[in-house]
Structure 1
Amino acid sequence: MDVLDDPVGASLGGAHAHLARRCGRAVRYDPEVASFSSVGLAPGPGAWDDLAALLGSGEFADLFSCPALPPARWKAEFALEGHQLVQERQVRPAAPAGLRVVELGAADVPEMLALVARTRPGPFRPRTRELGTYLGVREGGPDGGDGGGALLAMAGERLHPPGFTEVSAVCTAPEARGRGLAAHLVGELAARITARGERPFLHVAAANTGALALYERLGFVRRADVVFRGFRTP
């Protein structure tokens, strides 16, 4: 599981290499896809200089769960304690009655962005859906909808280090909470990931105890405590 110590760098060096932007020892996602950057687990001073050159002066550096800290001249923007979890047993809740589970594509992006704006599950950009499969729950049963039902919940795949896929962007509209929509979507995604021979993992803020309890019910266990950090380049 060592690849999970630097999941951003491991993803950009493999499955997501086509979405990478590089400068020397620093790498980041295309900014329309994701905000994350990596300088590895033990970067030297030159790696931080490379990242500053890659991002530009006075720009935001989202270092995700990187344990290394940049030089003092970098301004700290935030630090959020969290947990990294890996699924050890598969739990697949039943599909919600009277609703449709659909794969979300490019035409759904405006609705996806609107749902993210209402629920704030974490960073999500116009091309984030290119990281993997995104599923949504819409109003209307399989025989009773015309495809235009409101998007009530979604979840998708994000980081993709070798052998693993991260479940992310789990969110439910306030008016649809309490119906098991998030549980079903996470269970469905995890089942698909497992079926192709990979292991599902995810991240959760330590303060989000409700989400942590949900993921534990779905068979996820804590692998590591992490700190999500953001900085401003010199």
Structure 2
Amino acid sequence: MQRSALLDRIFWHTLTGPHARFAAGAGGARRYARGFSPILAFADVRQPDFAALAPYCEEGEHFYCEGWSGVSPGGWRIDAESTMYRMVWNAAPPAADGAPAAIALGLAHAHQAVQLAALCRPGPFGPRTIELGDYFGYFDGEQLVAMAGERMHVAGLREISGVCVHPDFQGRGLARQLMAKLVHRQMARGETPFLHVMRANEAAHLLYLRMGFVDYLESVVRVVTPTR
């Protein structure tokens, strides 16, 4: 499959491909299993099969859904709507590891990672999200103050996600360093890095453009909740 076809429906291709073991759902609908990032994906976003998800979702759960802009189906509520950019790396590989002193994060760091994500709000993040790829962080003593990692991937493409810097440690280039480390590692594996950023997050969008990412597309993103 061509790269553009994979990128256009990256949520679906990830959840039915490399991350199928982390997914739940049936038919033309999938979600990350509980504990991972609360994201939905559909085979056809023009006719999303919410009914197929009903047995796999609980009332009150909040999910992110990309690319769908139709009328809310029965049993679901739209809580928020915005747009986000999907950006793809379009520059030479970084010459070296951008963060050689960063610490590899594992399950022992999951609680701190969730706390930092709740503070910085990088997007959907759960206590098991760091199992979806390599995550690295910086610590101040025992406190995790910055992190970045990987989430979705298909053949030749890998997402950089969960980029967070504690407000007290911003302005030091920590996010750029951690992202450069990930870009360096991914490109050494023959993968093209990509990422998502909300349209409203202008500062992050400009940072990613300066680093070497370019806008691939802008799509609708909604937060939806089952209400049955």
Q: What TM-score, normalized to structure 1? A: 0.86
Deviation at 1:27, TM superposition (A): 1.1
Q: Residues of 2 paired with 1:154 and 1:216: CA distance?
A: 19
Deviation at 1:66, TM superposition (A): 2.5
Which runs of 5 or more residues in structure 1 are unaligned? 140-147
Shift of 1:207: 1.2
Deviations 1:165-197 (A, max 9, x none): 111110111111111000011111111111111
Q: 1:42 to 1:172 in 2, by over 3 A?
A: closer
In structure 2, what is the Cα distance between the partners aligned to 1:118 and 1:175?
Answer: 11
Match of 2:147 in 1: 154
Distance 1:150 1:53, change over 3 A: closer
For 1:70 and 1:90, locate their aligned partners in 2 and report how far apart those are by CA, in whole Å.
43
Q: Label 1:175 to 1:90 Cα distance change in 2 as closer, same or farther (>3 A).
A: farther
Aligned residues: 222
Decide which of 19, 22, 29 is 1:19's aligned counterpart. Answer: 22
2:225 is aligned with what amino acid?
Answer: R
Identical aligned pairs, as a percentage?
A: 36
1:36-57 superposed Cα distances (whole Å, 9 cap, x missing partner): 1112234547x22112333245
Counterpart of 1:220?
A: 213
CA distance in 2, matches of 1:151, 1:22: 34
**Matched residue SS, 2:123:** coil
RMSD: 2.2
Other-structure match for 1:145: none
Residue 182 of structure 1, aligned match among 175, 179, 185: 175
Structure 2 stretches lacking a partner, 5+ long: none
What TM-score do the two structures reach when normalised by structure 2? 0.88
Quickly say closer, same or farther: Cα 1:14–1:124, change in 2 above 3 A.
same
- Name the counterpart of 1:144: none
Within a 5 Å distance, the mapping from 1:69-218 to structure 2 comes to 69=70, 71-73=72-74, 74-90=76-92, 92=94, 95=98, 100-139=101-140, 148-218=141-211
Q: Cα distance 1:59–1:152, how it changes in 2: closer, same or farther (>3 A)?
A: closer
Question: Contact 2:157–2:193 (CA<8 Å) still a contact in 1?
Answer: yes
